[in-house]
Amino acid sequence: MLEGRNLTVTYDGFKALDGVSVQLKPGMVTGLIGPNGAGKSTLFSVLAGSVIPTTGQVYFNDEDITSRPPVIRARLGLGRSFQLSRDLAGLTVVENLLVAQPERQFEGIGAALFRRNAIRHRQEIMIEKARELLSRVDLWRLADQPSAALSGGQKKLLDLCRVLMLEPRFILLDEPSAGVNPTRIAEITEFIRSLVAEGISFGMVEHNMGMVAALCDQVYALAEGRLVAHGTFEEVTANDDVARAYLGV
Ligand code: ADP
Ligand code: MG
């Protein structure tokens, strides 16, 4: 389980998050909804480790990881998606997956040369893993194309495959449907569903209520840095304020 307890994040006296507690349970997809500026991305950054909370703690499987950097969280099995950055967009589709090797970050050049054979072997394993993942989302046929040429939906699938290279048990997704053609959203939804069936748990910030309704076992609604509702999608959207703010009714 991934848990945030009483999290507050203050930027120059402004509380982007104010006493928020969430529990993202294993085997579940947890949705996080709320208007722009509500603090959703900040909460995800705190859970993933790129923002340290001003107060409060983050626990992963009962271990206090509040001050653990993202790379250590990744090794513990916590993954996070990012939009493709400009640097990575200069790579081919398959190269985008091959750079996702956590070992690289700890290895000096000297050690790498001494361990060349081991590294070559590992690269073969990585390429095989990349091939399997890309085949599942119909991107292997585009393996040698620049990733910049992919559609919005294909970039989201590629990004998710990049996270999967590290074999996480828990994945945080920030707006998986953003910039995605509506007909492709179903494809991403199906892929996430198949990963859940394989035992991977998810947290997702999402504006597309169809996707939230289709995937999320529980939903937290945030507004102005505070939690305003928690429950199933039906329960949360039965709250009049939430319905007005997010469903436009
Ligand atoms: P959401 O993802 O729900 O749209 P964010 O978590 O991105 O909201 O932002 C919450 C609030 O915190 C916003 O008012 C935003 O302007 C502010 N904020 C986010 N990051 C920073 C930062 N690094 N410095 C100052 N203010 C920030
Ligand atoms: Mg955001």
Domains of the chain and CATH, by start: 2-77+168-247 (3.40.50.300)
Q: Would you state the pLDDT for residue 116? A: 75
Angstrom distance (rounded) from CA 126 to CA 98: 7
Q: Would you state the pLDDT for residue 183? A: 86
Residue 190 Cα to ligand 1 midpoint, Å, equals 30
Local confidence pLDDT in tens for the 249 residues of the chain: 999 999 999 999 999 999 999 999 999 999 999 998 999 999 999 999 999 999 999 999 999 999 999 889 999 999 988 655 555 668 999 999 988 665 554 556 666 666 677 778 888 889 999 999 999 999 999 999 999 999 999 999 999 999 999 999 999 998 999 889 988 999 999 999 999 999 999 999 999 999 999 999 999 999 999 999 999 999 998 877 777 766 654
Residues in the chain: 249
Ligand 1 pocket, 39 CB below 6 A? yes
Angstrom distance (rounded) from CA 112 to CA 106: 10
Q: Which atom of ligand 1 is nearest to the CA of 44?
A: 6
198 to 6, 30, 167, 192: CA distances (angstroms): 31, 16, 12, 10
Q: Would you state the pLDDT for residue 81? A: 83
Ligand 1 pocket, 41 CB below 6 A? yes
Q: Which atom of ligand 1 is nearest to the CA of 174?
A: 2
Note the ligand closest to the C-alpha atom of 33: 1
Q: Would you state the pLDDT for residue 123? A: 83
Residue 223 Cα to ligand 2 midpoint, Å, equals 12
Residue 44 Cα to ligand 1 midpoint, Å, equals 11
Residue 11 Cα to ligand 1 midpoint, Å, equals 9
In this predicted complex, what is the ipTM?
0.97
Residue 1 burial (CB < 10 Å; 0-12/13-18/19+)? Answer: middle
Ligand 1 pocket, 150 CB below 6 A? no
Q: Would you state the pLDDT for residue 191? A: 96
Listed residue (163, 162, 141) closest to 97, CA to CA: 162
Per-position DSSP letters for 14-68, written without gaps between them = EEEEEEEEEEE-TT-EEEEE--TTSSHHHHHHHHHTSS--SEEEEEETTEE-TT-
pTM of the model: 0.89
